[in-house]
């Protein structure tokens, strides 16, 4: 598993700068006014810092960007990095600055002069998240990232604030690692094992095996995994840190999706190792709330299956019975995630009696056609809950866009042979998938469905992540827990 860079906060010590190894960074505001630390670095580098700050290159930087001076004379460091960052940056800009510093530093040790700059803990979060590298299966794993020391005005206050930020970072990295693993490593059994290890953080973890799932009547979930040699499982993680009914988070955990009998094209099928992205986010959120000792009750439930073609696999045209008791005609075995979620969502409501429920899934390619890789699709039956989530996602810089639901879309799921079919055709494919799931939401249950197909894994760098698994949703959902479900 990926280890985060060690980050600490200490009092400002300008006398240590000359001998600091790795990289030395300093915050310089957009007006170019240099702090005491920047002036000390300027003297050590014989005026190079001042020349850089007065240069056209610095003037063209955006807030949060970095200008690097390599191999400075008079210092042990390999480089001096100038972070264009005003004294009172926004959360987003502070994180962007930390991420820019992580890109510049690579695995080198970092000494950052934040001095009177506010939000040093957010700079640290950006530094931790952008320094991520999944190297578990590389022969040459490279050098572990060096420590980062942030010199600031109130180090103890910053260290306290950073504990929650680093808990979030741990959850995001846990999600990224899970999504990045190949399916021959992250089997349903190995996934469950990694979740059981979260007991060490104080979570209650229960694993429901296939015989128990059959007793509960989870015919929809079980039909997805019956073509695989990997056993289907449901894992329930409970964090009991508060009073009242819990928030239920439900994740799709298809560890590999061939499409089943409705086989996917070979090109790009290797990316279907990330089809457990929803379950990965749920796992990351549960790790975060446990690490920061959230004063709320949260339960995470994930359905772990593998969708494979074989002589035992579900066929197009088969009819299965869900835990709710509704029958489903399986038109397309590649629309399997909704079958998994239907049973896990119903079990969550029956067994955990939540105050609200949010499901996450890399559910449809149609979502990517609609929103690209910038936003997750948000469907909800409760305006207040949807508004709170969108506010949390906006505060954390995680793109999300609310989409419609309606009876006309639901009517597209009608079939003569069963209570419903599992697809509604090509038009509005992401919406009809959400309509399918809504049929398994009890009438008085506030609910959100998040289709994260476009944001769980990306092919180019983002501000806070290298290309690959993003961990999208961990920060937004943790913020929602803090803002809506924890006492003020």
Assigned token pair, 177: 């690692």
Q: Is 460 a catalytic residue?
A: no
What SS3 state is found at 390? Answer: helix
End-to-end CA distance of the chain: 34
Choosing from 95, 292, 338, 439, the catalytic residue is 338
Phi/psi at 451 (nearest 5 deg)? -90, 110
Choosing from 108, 133, 264, 484, the catalytic residue is 264
CA distance 435 to 348: 18
Residues 410-437 as b/e (b if ≥16 CB within 10 A, e otherwise) read: bebbeeeebbbbbbbeeebbbbbbbbbb
Distance between CA atoms of residues 81 and 62, nearest Å:
15
Distances in Å between the alpha carbon of 479 and those of 88, 89, 173, 302? 22, 20, 17, 21
Three-class DSSP category at 126? helix
Per-position b or e across 65-76, b if 16+ CB within 10 A of its CB:
bbbbbeebeebe
Question: Which stretches within 21-119 are classed as H helix?
Answer: 36-44, 48-53, 56-59, 91-105
Identify the DSSP state of 357. Answer: E
The span from the CA of 66 to the CA of 146, in Å, is 19
Question: Is 141 one of the annotated active-site residues of the chain?
Answer: no
Q: How many CB atoms lie within 10 A of CB 402?
A: 16
The Cα 338–Cα 429 span in angstroms is: 12
How far is residue 212's CA from residue 236's CA, in Å, rounded to a whole number?
13
Catalytic positions are: 264, 338
């Amino acid at each position: 598993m990926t280890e985060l860079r060690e980050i600490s906060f200490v009092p400002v010590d300008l006398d240590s700068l000359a001998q600091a190894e790795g990289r030395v960074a300093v915050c310089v505001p957009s007006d170019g006014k240099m702090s005491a630390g920047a002036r000390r670095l300027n003297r050590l580098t014989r005026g190079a810092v001042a020349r850089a700050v007065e240069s056209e290159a610095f003037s063209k930087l955006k807030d949060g960007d970095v200008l690097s001076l390599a191999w400075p004379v008079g210092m042990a460091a390999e480089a001096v990095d100038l972070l264009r960052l005003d004294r009172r940056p926004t959360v987003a800009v502070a994180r962007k600055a930390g991420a820019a510093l992580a890109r510049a530093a690579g695995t080198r040790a970092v000494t950052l002069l934040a001095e009177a700059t506010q939000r040093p803990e957010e700079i640290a979060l950006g530094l931790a998240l952008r320094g991520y590298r999944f190297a578990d299966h590389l022969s040459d794993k490279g050098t572990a990232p060096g420590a980062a020391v942030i010199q600031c005005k109130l180090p103890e206050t910053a260290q306290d604030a950073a504990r929650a930020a680093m808990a979030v970072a741990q959850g995001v990295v846990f999600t990224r690692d899970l999504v990045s693993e190949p399916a021959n490593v992250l089997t349903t059994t190995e996934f469950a094992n990694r979740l059981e290890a979260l007991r060490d953080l104080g979570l209650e973890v229960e694993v429901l095996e296939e015989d128990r799932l059959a007793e509960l009547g989870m015919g929809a979930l079980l039909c997805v995994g019956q073509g695989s040699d990997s056993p289907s499982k449901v894992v329930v993680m409970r964090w009991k840190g508060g009073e009242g009914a819990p928030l239920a988070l439900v994740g799709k955990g298809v560890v590999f999706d061939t499409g089943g009998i409705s086989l996917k094209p070979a090109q790009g099928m290797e990316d279907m190792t990330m089809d457990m992205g929803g379950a990965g986010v749920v796992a990351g959120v549960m790790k975060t709330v446990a690490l920061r000792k959230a004063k709320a009750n949260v339960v995470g439930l994930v359905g772990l299956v593998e969708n494979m073609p074989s002589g035992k696999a579900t066929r197009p045209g088969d009819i299965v019975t869900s835990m709710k008791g509704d029958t489903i005609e399986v038109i397309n075995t590649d629309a399997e995630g909704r079958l998994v979620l239907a049973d896990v969502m119903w079990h969550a409501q029956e067994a955990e009696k939540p105050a609200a429920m949010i499901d996450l899934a890399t559910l449809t390619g149609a979502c990517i056609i609609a929103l690209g890789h910038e936003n997750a699709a948000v469907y909800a039956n409760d305006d207040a809950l949807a508004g709170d989530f969108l506010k949390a996602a906006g505060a954390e810089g995680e793109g999300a866009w609310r989409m419609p639901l309606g009876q006309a879309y639901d009517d597209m799921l009608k079939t003569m042979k069963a209570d419903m079919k599992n697809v509604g055709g090509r038009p509005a494919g992401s919406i009809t998938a959400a309509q399918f799931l809504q049929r398994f939401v009890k009438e008085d249950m506030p609910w959100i469905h998040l289709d994260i197909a476009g944001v769980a894994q990306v092919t180019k760098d983002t501000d806070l992540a290298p290309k690959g698994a993003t961990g999208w949703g961990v920060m937004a959902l943790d913020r929602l827990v803090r803002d809506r479900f924890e006492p003020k």
